[in-house]
Structures are given as structure tokens and as C-alpha cells.
């Protein structure tokens, strides 16, 4: 540098300016920042913010999905937050979605309480550049309100497999009722449609569906509904609750009324919530899938979408960490896995 300056003094001002530029260019670190952009690696990487909105807070089922997101977060390093309504009403998630749109988070996952009520809010989020997917519960019939969905199992098989379980427990004969979640719940409604279709099979001709009631995925209301089913239908042989809240409530009622030998309870629930009822014989068998895996896959998918590395398209695929390659099916639906049946012999192998 000193040698350069001596030469500048001798050569005159115009030449000095040219030479100074030339000399200064030699060591790249001497170039002032604004002239040349800093190398990419020196830029602090902005963290992708992923927000998950469950159907409702206080339902342990969604804690398992959250645990899956957190597992993916540990592996991928995104920011993760979960916010949601206390009740699972059709419109309860709307303000939470709008709040995230205002915050301009990068990615949003929602377990939909309604197939249509939340669509406008999701469309607004997407318009603001937010990557939006549904998890566990889709906006069936309004799939353009999200880019992809991570669902627990092939929902086309859920209804029939639930009826098969009920039929097995009733020896193929008798009255049963369905205790569902909310009247709007898109997944439960789809499964119930599947149950009704399955019952057209002659092998279920002696099964009689007497009523469908809704406990709103609220423990107290679900218990009241289960109790009134028992009063209204003295010949009731089974309660089929395709919701983790409903099945727990029904089991509690049957246990209290000591009716396990007369009324079979089954449906969908979590092993941790139903373990005691399986072990004391109130429930013989129930089904579910792995909600932790659901959240984990959703975390990988949203992180990849927000980073511009995954662009959902039918027949495309992506890598979901330890759960390996996952494929997008029709309507960009990603299936988590096969259903699991729990009973006394295997319940202790599961912890969610
Ligand atoms: C309840 C919720 C959830 C459903 C499970 C089986 O926790 O309705 O969305 O998937 O049950």
C-alpha cells in the first residue's frame, strides 16, 4: 500500500486515481462492503417460521402432532410456534390464521375445523406469500385453499375399517350409534360417509346404526351424548366414536355405569388416553395411526416449501427425514401411514 502511494505522488492526480483503484482491488478484503455484495455464506440465514394451528387447544391428540413438528424442528432448525382456539367451532381458527398473515410468517399448517369457513382466510395467507398446508384434517372440496395436505391414512379406507372393527366386537349383529366430533368436522364427516357406504355390504346387514350424535370434541358434551344414547336406546350394543375425545368420553361413561359387558366402545383414540380402559377391559380394541409422524412429515414438507426446495405436485415426492421418501397423491395429499389397531397385546408398545 505504501509503495502504491509513493507512485501516486509521482504520477499525478489523474493517474493516481486509476492506480489507486488498481492497487486497492488486489486484496479483495480491502473493497468496501457496499461496492460488492458480501459472500452468501456470510449472510445470517433468516429462520423459516412455521406456525401450526390445531383444531383446538387442550386435546392431547394435537400434542402428538406438535411433538412431531418439534422433532423435525430439531433436525432442520426452523422456528416453530403453535397457536389455536379453545373450541373446535367452524370459524374459531379464522382470527388465528389472520394473525399469522399479518405477521407474514413463512409457513402455516392448519388442522381444519371446517371445509369452507376457513378457506377465505387461508387464501389471504397464500396471497401474502405464506406457504399453507393442512395437517390431519383437510378442507375437503376446497383444496385450492391450501397447497398440500398431510393426512393420517387413506381416508377412503377409514369408514370401512371402523365398521369392520365395530362388527367384529358385536359379532356382526346389533344396534350401535356413532358419537362424532363437531357437525362440521370435515374428516369425521367423510369417515361417517364411508361407514354408511360400507354398511351396504351384505356382511353387515345385521348391524343397525340407530343414531349419530355430536360431542363437539368436548369431553363433557361427549359424555352427556354417550349417556343419553344409553337411555334412549336400551338395546344399544355399541358406541363407535371416530374421535379421540369422543371415545375417551364414551369409555368413561361405560366404565362408570359398569356396562362394558353389554356395550362395546370402539373408534379412534390415542393409546396414552385409552391404555387404562384397554387394561381394565372397558375397551377391547380401537384404532388410530401415528400422529407424531404426521407432524414430523408436515414439518419437513413446510420447511422444504418455504425454502423453495419442495413444490407440491401430484406424483411428485420429497424426503421426510427418517421417514424417508413421501409421495404427493391426488390433490397433493401425503399419507402418513397405515392404521394401527390397539388391544391388550400391543398397547404398551406405544407412547403417544
Ligand atoms: C380428535 C380430532 C382429530 C382426529 C382424532 C381421531 O382428536 O377430531 O382431528 O383425527 O380425534
Average pLDDT by stretches of 10, the chain with 352 residues: 40 39 36 40 75 97 98 98 97 98 98 97 98 97 98 97 98 98 96 98 98 98 98 98 98 98 98 98 98 98 98 97 98 96 97 94
Ligand 1 binding pocket mutation candidate from 57, 149, 244, 247 (most atoms within 8 A of CB): 244
249 lines ligand 1 (CB under 6 A): no
Query: Residue 104 in 3-state DSSP?
Result: coil
289 lines ligand 1 (CB under 6 A): no
Pair 109, 97: CB distance under 8 Å: no
Nearest C-alpha to atom 4 of ligand 1 is from which residue?
Answer: 243
The CATH number assigned to the domain with range 155-288 reads 3.40.50.2300
Cell 429462520 sits on residue: 47
pLDDT confidence of residue 205: 98
**What pTM does this model have?**
0.86
294 lines ligand 1 (CB under 6 A): no
CATH class of the region 49-153+291-337 = alpha beta
Could you please report the per-residue DSSP string of 301-349? HHHHHHTT-----TT-EEE-GGG-EEE--GGGEEE----EEE-TTTGGG
pLDDT confidence of residue 46: 80
158 lines ligand 1 (CB under 6 A): no
For residues 206 and 170, what is the distance between their CA atoms, to the nearest angstrom? 10
pLDDT confidence of residue 43: 58
Q: What is the whole-number distance in angstroms between the Cα of residue 181 and the centre of ligand 1?
A: 8
For residues 305 and 302, what is the distance between their CA atoms, to the nearest angstrom? 5
pLDDT confidence of residue 159: 98
Nearest C-alpha to atom 2 of ligand 1 is from which residue?
Answer: 243
Nearest C-alpha to atom 11 of ligand 1 is from which residue?
Answer: 243
59 lines ligand 1 (CB under 6 A): yes
DSSP 268: B
Ligand 1 binding pocket mutation candidate from 55, 58, 179 (most atoms within 8 A of CB): 55
Pair 33, 62: CB distance under 8 Å: no
Q: How far is residue 221 from each of residues 176, 213, 250, measured CA to CA in Å?
A: 19, 10, 11
For residues 182 and 293, what is the distance between their CA atoms, to the nearest angstrom? 25
Q: What is the whole-number distance in angstroms between the Cα of residue 165 and the centre of ligand 1?
A: 18
- Asked if domains 49-153+291-337 and 155-288 share a fold, the reply is yes
Closest CA to 333 of 288, 299, 298: 298
The grid coordinates listed for 190 are: 367423510
Which atom of ligand 1 approaches the CA of 288 most closely?
6
Going from N- to C-terminal start, the domains of the chain cover: 49-153+291-337, 155-288
Amino acid at each position: 500500500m505504501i509503495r502504491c502511494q509513493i507512485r501516486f505522488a509521482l504520477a499525478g492526480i489523474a493517474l493516481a486515481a486509476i492506480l489507486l483503484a488498481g492497487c486497492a482491488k488486489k486484496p479483495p478484503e480491502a473493497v468496501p462492503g457496499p461496492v460488492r455484495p458480501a459472500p452468501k455464506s456470510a449472510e445470517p440465514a433468516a429462520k423459516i417460521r412455521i406456525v401450526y394451528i390445531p383444531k383446538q387447544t387442550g386435546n392431547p391428540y394435537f400434542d402428538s402432532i406438535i411433538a412431531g413438528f418439534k422433532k423435525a424442528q430439531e433436525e432442520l432448525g426452523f422456528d416453530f410456534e403453535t397457536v389455536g382456539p379453545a373450541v373446535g367451532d367452524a370459524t374459531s381458527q379464522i382470527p388465528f390464521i389472520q394473525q399469522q398473515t399479518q405477521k407474514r410468517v413463512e409457513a402455516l399448517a392448519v388442522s381444519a375445523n371446517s371445509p369452507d369457513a376457513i378457506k377465505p382466510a387461508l387464501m389471504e395467507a397464500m396471497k401474502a406469500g405464506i406457504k399453507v398446508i393442512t395437517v390431519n384434517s383437510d378442507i375437503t372440496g376446497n383444496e385450492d385453499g391450501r397447497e398440500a395436505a398431510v393426512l393420517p391414512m387413506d381416508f377412503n379406507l377409514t369408514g370401512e375399517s371402523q365398521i369392520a372393527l365395530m362388527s367384529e366386537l358385536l359379532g356382526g349383529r346389533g344396534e350401535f350409534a356413532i358419537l362424532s366430533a363437531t357437525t362440521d368436522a370435515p374428516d369425521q364427516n367423510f369417515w361417517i360417509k364411508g361407514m354408511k357406504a360400507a354398511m351396504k355390504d351384505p356382511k353387515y346387514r345385521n348391524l343397525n346404526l340407530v343414531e349419530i350424535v355430536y360431542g363437539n370434541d368436548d369431553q363433557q358434551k361427549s359424555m352427556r351424548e354417550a349417556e343419553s344414547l344409553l337411555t334412549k336406546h336400551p338395546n344399544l350394543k355399541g358406541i363407535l366414536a371416530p374421535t379421540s375425545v369422543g371415545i375417551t368420553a364414551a369409555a368413561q361413561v361405560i366404565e362408570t355405569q359398569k356396562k362394558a359387558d353389554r356395550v362395546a366402545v370402539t373408534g379412534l383414540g390415542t393409546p396414552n388416553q385409552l391404555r387404562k380402559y384397554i387394561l381394565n377391559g372397558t375397551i377391547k380394541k380401537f384404532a388410530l395411526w401415528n400422529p407424531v409422524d404426521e407432524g414430523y412429515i408436515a414439518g419437513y414438507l413446510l420447511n422444504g416449501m418455504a425454502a423453495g426446495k419442495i413444490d407440491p405436485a401430484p406424483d411428485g415426492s420429497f424426503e421426510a427425514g427418517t421417514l424417508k421418501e413421501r409421495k404427493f397423491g391426488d390433490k397433493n395429499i401425503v399419507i402418513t401411514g397405515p392404521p394401527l389397531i390397539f388391544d391388550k397385546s400391543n398397547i404398551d408398545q406405544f407412547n403417544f
